[in-house]
Structure 1
Amino acid sequence: MRAGSRGGFEMPVQKLRRLTQFGSLLLIFLIPIFESYKRLLYYIPKSSIGNLYKEGFSSLDSSLKGGYLEQVVLIIDKLFGLIVDNTYTVSRFLDGFSGFFWSITIGDFTFIDPLAFIQMPIIDYSFDLDFLISITLPIAIALVLGRVFCSWICPYNTLQEFIRFAARTLGIKGISKQVIADPYLRYTILGIGFVLTVLGSAVFPYILPYVQLGRFFYYLTFGSVFWTGLIVVMVLLFLDSFMQKGVWCNYLCPTGALLGLLGRKKLIRVRRDKTKCMASCILCEKVCVWKSHPKLDDMLNCTHCHLCVDKCPSKALKIRSR
């Protein structure tokens, strides 16, 4: 533990969560760049790895370049040139990174969002071991930990937390207006989206901000901007950060609704020791931005961000298995 900003200490769990959040955000930024660079490997000589800037990058067809991220592609090339000199080795490494959190491949594993799975045509089902792992692993994680994706991995939430931190640092206060009050609206959105998907109209990829962010970075590598997705994300970030805290995550997000349902009986959760809990203390209720209620033992929306556990003055909250 190390000294923190509230006169206490920043817990190891929070440092690990921040590291995971940063890594997830970096991943959706790097994967499109890796894919852009992988396209170049088929057109450049072996000796050009690490020397792409010097050996005719400007002469390549524009579709093979890095778009707005061209300079970043050149930096990636330079880094690979310091490590290897074999295009095959680089290609094999890059094959282990593709997609984004809608369907993402890391190494030998592919993870498919449960909402992405329900919109896949049956003819795309392979039912081999790799495919079964791809669709069951995210569900298994939700059954054990609930909505852990929301606060540990989701890049949209990471940006949201950063904006809130920046606003507090700069002394910018939001309006704090209750735009939406119905906590069951997200389940309605989930149900309507599911029905429309089954009927052949896939709506989830167009409303989920973490999907829009992944698509935004992918378009940049081709020299274009996915303006629709960018506008959707910016509007939601503004509402979440300055109007009503957590309006998307707690009231509208169908992914959060689905993960919450899957994790309703999650195996690992925050438990309250009633003998230690101080009756007059409601600090855990104040620090939770996910509409969970540790004081009432209501942890349906818990994302395991661990803030309530860290801030509890009597150490009455612990992570326990059922």
Structure 2
Amino acid sequence: MTEPLLTVKGLKVHFPIRGGLLGKPVGWVKAVDGVDLEIGRGESVALVGESGCGKSTLGAAILGMQKPTAGSIRFAGKDIVHGDAGGRKSLSRDMQIVFQDPVSALNPKLTIGESIAEPLAIHGVGNARERRERVAELLNLVGLHPQHAKRMPNAFSGGQRQRIVIARALTLNPELMILDEPVSALDVSIRSQILNLLLDLQQRMGLSYLFISHDLSVVRHFADRVAVMYLGHLVETGRTDDVFAKPEHPYTEALLSAVPLPDPVAQRSRRRIVLKGDLPSPANPPQGCKFVTRCPLAEPVCHETHPPLVPVGDAWRAACHVRAPAAQQTVSS
């Protein structure tokens, strides 16, 4: 089998809670608490879950913006957690991010041409003429005119600014792009245009995507696979069509029940699962299964031990004592 482009194993990102006069740690916020994830070459993997579940922190750790507490991250077979600063800078050519808000992602004092060319200058790529040509090429690629390079960011709409941010992310020909809620700040009419652009770029350039989102209706049409995250843990992963057709974890089932259906008759007849209570604090997670305080299927064992993520089908895994007990017994035996 082909080695995955990205492999995350047992990744933890814990933040200290400090107290007292000396500021010693008195507790930990377990934003990411033992995540395994793989992304193949040319594949789109969606990372979904409620706000505060650890999605963006996981993305930041992969990019090197946040130091992991434990675990490993391998990119193209190389360990990228314990490398030196020079290796991390070189790696930044291979991994880029598109943020949620295109307004704050662009420097208001630079023309868009200067913003797009900035990564080339940082890495010492090309001379002034070659950089201008690269900027023009990228603007064409994302559906903008090369003459726009001389304009300031405030001269563009939200959708156009996101195209500019995507162009800048592509400047150094990355292999992996982390898309952190890339369309949630845009008007509904513009979202499909940006998503179609990203899919077109993936086909042209062989890009891999980690698509961080809470919008499952978008994920269904964008991602090859989906990973559902809850309170720092992955609770279900699998091919998007499989997970959407028959979710194995009750949290996934609840999330999908909130996605509107295009058929009004089917929408009226469906059963909406409303979770009780709020997402627990990652500084004080529940004992046992982290979903136990909100789960409608919880049994005594769920309060005692956290269920492992085990196979429930072909390339499909879930972490649930109730829904996947047979699979867990097979793994433990």
Higher helix share: 1
Query: TM-score normalised by the shorter chain: which range applies?
Result: under 0.3
TM-score, normalised with respect to structure 1 = 0.23
Higher strand share: 2
TM-score, normalised with respect to structure 2 = 0.23
